[in-house]
Amino acid sequence: MTDIFSNVIRRLDKAAKIIQIDPEVIHQLKHLTAAMEFSIPVRMDSGELKYFKAYRAQHNNTLGPTKGGIRYHPMVCMDEVKSLAFWMTMKCSVVNLPFGGAKGGICVNPKELSPMELERLSRGFIKRIADFIGPDVDIPAPDVYTNAMIMGWMMDEYSKIVRHHVPGVITGKPIALGGSLGREDATGRGAYYCIKELEKRLNWNPKNIRVAVQGFGNAGQHVAKLLFEDGYKIVAVSDSKGGVYHSDGFDIDSLIYMKNSSKILKAVYCTESVCEEVEAEKITNEELLALDVDLLIPAALENQITLSNASEIKAPVIVEVANGPISTDADEVLQSRDTLVVPDILANAGGVTVSYFEWVQNKIGYYWSETKVREKLHSSMLREFSAVCQMKKDKKVDMRTAAYAHGLCRIGEAVSAQGTRSYFAPRE
């Protein structure tokens, strides 16, 4: 058991101590259903043949078929994929979805590939795992540096292999290929709904709340935009190359336009397509995390806040939009300082929730309006946020432990319904 996964298990053990649950449930969750490591050959545009290492981990299918994204990143490894699959199991249980957890990834920098190389790589991934996925077995989705178009290629490749159209094998697809309205902004919108509940409970006035967002990809952009539209002051944002800070806040629509049109994060103000640079301080990702803000939103990668920098965090509230941005050791430091952390398995569950909606729509062949999708997402996030807060209050624990305990209760009921040692043990 390597470092990330062992730290994940520590959180599981901590949550198990506060609820009545059969030990066999915890034992089961410490083991994966399956894990695959393989290589994908890709003929590059130059004619060269390259091999890319890839992974797929299926953690647990007690509640239903496994579900989880596919990320393209140079640092993807089996330990990371196993941990992300575990988090997906807990996340699906927390928001009451009929899925277990899975995750996949390819060790690659997608920015170095041409569009055609990227398509060949994506289709090659599906060729390798086609026997192990399916709409009732394991359902991939987008993650870091993958998108709707890539999911469309993957769905098409799987359909070719099985020789019939199977839109439900992949979620996060383009609308024209069976995707769901409301899926693109679902992760950020789910986090936004959590923040709006915090706003009520903490009596926030949005105009007085300073926000820093680490990670300005899909989820980070959407949560920042929604908060900005409500009057929150977004004073800092960053991407993989660094960030910008302005004490008076940014015009988020302008930053999003510049980032998406030029791939550059620059402090600007835009009138339609004409943008002019505005004065702002350039900062590193590490400096952003340590800013004196009211709300910190890590929306990049895991392990951004660790034991080495946890004591520098000044934000009293953190909402985890990324998966696992706070290490277990850092968690303990933040808890000792009464930092309120809304954990990833709740805060970023909007994405998998709308992926579930997409899967349901693919199965029935009937598609919902964006308004209906958002209404259902809001209802789900509000219900589970309230349940986790109640668990936090009843058990007098931090919000992460409460969320894990909430999810464990549902998995525990399903495992016990099939019989554990207490049922099968010989009776004297």
What average pLDDT does range 354-368 have in this prediction?
97
- The pLDDT assigned to 44 comes to 97
DSSP state of 97: -
- Tens digits of residue pLDDT in 32-63: 999 999 999 999 999 999 999 999 999 999 99
Express as a percent the part of the chain with pLDDT over 90. 83
Measured distance CA(389)–CA(133) in Å, rounded: 35
Q: Is the pLDDT of residue 375 over 50?
A: yes
Mean pLDDT of 336-356: 96
Report residue 345's pLDDT band, with 50, 70 and 90 as the boundaries: very high
pLDDT of the residue at 151? 97
- pLDDT higher at 302 or 115: 115
Of the candidates 89, 82, 187, the one whose C-alpha atom is nearest the C-alpha of residue 407 is 89
Share of the chain above pLDDT 70, in %: 99
Q: Do the Cβ atoms of 100 and 60 come closer than 8 Å?
A: yes
Residue-wise pLDDT for 246-259, tens only, equals: 999 999 998 998 88
Mean pLDDT over 64-79 rounds to 96
Q: What is the mean pLDDT of residues 179-207?
A: 96
Confidence of residue 9 (pLDDT cuts 50, 70, 90): confident
Read off φ and ψ for residue 170, nearest 5 degrees: -135, 140
Compute the average pLDDT of residues 168-197. Answer: 97
Angle at 10 between CA 324 and CA 59, to 5 degrees: 65
Residue 302: strand, helix, or coil: coil
Alpha-carbon gap, residue 75 to 69, rounded angstroms: 16
Domains annotated for the chain, with CATH where assigned, are 34-170 (3.40.50.10860), 186-344 (3.40.50.720)
130-139, 186-195, 300-309: least confident range: 300-309
Assign 426 a pLDDT band (cuts: 50, 70, 90): confident
Token couple for 126: 């599906």
Q: Which pTM was predicted?
A: 0.93
Residue 1 has pLDDT above 80, yes or no: no
Question: Are 121 and 375 contacting, i.e. CB atoms less than 8 angstroms apart?
Answer: no
Residues 6+ apart with CB under 8 A from 374: 182, 189
The whole-chain average pLDDT of the chain stands at 94
Please say whether the beta carbons of 212 and 293 come within 8 A: yes
Please state the rounded mean pLDDT for residues 252-273.
83
Phi, psi of 26 (to 5 degrees): -65, -45
Residue bearing the bigger pLDDT, 241 or 88: 88
Judge residue 137's burial from the number of C-beta atoms within 10 Å of its C-beta, 0-12 exposed, 13-18 middle, 19 or more buried: middle
Instruction: Provide the strand spans (E) within 180-256.
Output: 210-214, 233-239, 242-245
* Residue 229: Cβ within 10 Å count: 12
Can you read off the two tokens belonging to residue 385? 């946020």
Residues facing residue 101 across a β-bridge = 60, 67
- Rounded mean pLDDT, 119-144: 97
Mean pLDDT score, 325-331: 92
Cα 137 from Cα 234, distance rounded (Å): 41
- Which of 253-267, 326-340, 368-382 has the weakest average pLDDT? 253-267
Q: List all residues 6 or more positions away from 283 whose beta carbon is below 8 Å from its beta carbon.
A: 236, 238, 242, 243, 244, 245, 291
Q: Strands 274-277 and 233-239: what pairing?
A: unpaired
The SS3 of residue 247 is coil
Helix-strand-coil split of the chain, %, nearest 5: 50, 20, 30
How does residue 270 score in pLDDT terms, banded at 50, 70 and 90? Answer: confident
* Pairwise CA distance, residues 262 & 266, whole Å: 10
For the cut 60, the answer to whether the pLDDT of residue 389 exceeds it is: yes
pLDDT band at residue 428, thresholds of 50, 70 and 90?
Answer: low
Q: Given the residues 14, 91, 103, 259, select the one marked as catalytic.
A: 103
Residue 103 falls in the annotated catalytic set: yes
